[in-house]
């Protein structure tokens, strides 16, 4: 099978030397990419900047901004059976980016931000993607309810939800504890290493391909 994975943070330029980003390490997406490649699947990994080594036998497409990630996904998604979007894409980017470094002037400074494209939300509507679609949800409250709303709104087959208010799991941690939110039920696997959870999420996604395409 061919599997597209987005991973890592995005960087939204403020000027040539500054950017807005977030604490995503990319570990979860890279672990899924590695697991899938080890099983012999073709893996396309579209990733924002991380400190991680690219897993062996993965087609790697490095990107910086969410607009670049959107374009890479748009280009690749038609040929894949499974799309797993683990990237922590910035919701907003600076409205304009000057060519030169911004000089400090007054005591305050206002940065105008505009909405970024919703890559996961574009898969069904804009890219007409018909394969298995897995999204992630990082929430600090009402985890299952928010994840289920996201599942429906974005046309996903599975949302992997994690509680980012906890320090021992989620962003940059090696372990994770997630809810697997499907259209008709929710699973709650035990807290585990990102490697083991990556394997589990991949297995669930592969099972979903036979449900959505029984032949
Ligand atoms: O709506 P929210 O950002 O919480 O959704 C998270 C999910 O959507 C993740 O799977 C993330 O990779 C994806 N996403 C995206 N493009 C965005 C924002 C989020 O693909 N602009």
pLDDT digits (tens, 9 = 90+) for 70-97: 999 999 999 999 999 999 999 999 999 9
Q: Is 89 in the pocket of ligand 1 (CB under 6 A)?
A: yes
Q: Ligand 1: which atom is nearest the Cα of residue 136?
A: 10
User: Are the beta carbons of 34 and 74 closer than 8 angstroms?
Assistant: no
Least confident of 27-36, 61-70, 146-155, 171-180: 171-180
* pTM of the predicted structure, to 2 decimals: 0.94
Looking up tokens 């298995």, which residue turns up? 132
Average pLDDT (17-39) is 95
Residue 100 Cα, ligand 1 centroid: separation in angstroms? Answer: 31
Closest by CA position to 50, among listed 75, 33, 67? 33
CATH 3.40.50.10300, applies to 2-92+112-212: yes
Closest by CA position to 21, among listed 74, 66, 67? 66
Q: Is 66 in the pocket of ligand 1 (CB under 6 A)?
A: yes
Residue 106 Cα, ligand 1 centroid: separation in angstroms? Answer: 35
Average pLDDT (41-64) is 98
- Residue 215 pLDDT more than 60? no
């Amino acid at each position: 099978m061919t599997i597209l994975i987005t991973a890592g943070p995005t960087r939204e330029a403020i000027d040539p030397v500054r950017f807005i980003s977030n604490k995503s390490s990319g570990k979860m997406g890279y672990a899924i990419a590695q697991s899938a490649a080890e099983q012999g699947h073709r893996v396309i990994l579209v990733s924002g900047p991380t400190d991680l080594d690219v897993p062996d036998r993965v087609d790697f497409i490095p990107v910086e901004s969410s607009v670049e990630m959107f374009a890479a996904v748009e280009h690749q998604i038609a040929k894949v059976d499974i799309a797993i979007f683990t990237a922590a894409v910035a919701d907003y980017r600076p409205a304009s980016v000057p060519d030169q470094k911004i000089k400090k002037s007054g005591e305050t400074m206002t940065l105008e931000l505009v909405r970024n494209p919703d890559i996961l939300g574009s898969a069904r509507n804009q890219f007409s993607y018909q394969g298995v679609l897995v999204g992630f949800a990082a929430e600090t409250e009402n985890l299952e309810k928010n994840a289920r709303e996201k599942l429906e709104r974005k046309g996903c087959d599975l949302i992997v939800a994690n509680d980012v208010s906890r320090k021992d799991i989620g962003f940059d941690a090696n372990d994770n504890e997630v809810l697997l939110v499907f259209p008709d039920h929710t699973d709650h696997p035990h807290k585990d290493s990102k490697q083991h959870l990556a394997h589990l999420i991949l297995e669930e996604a592969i099972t979903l391909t036979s449900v959505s395409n029984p032949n």
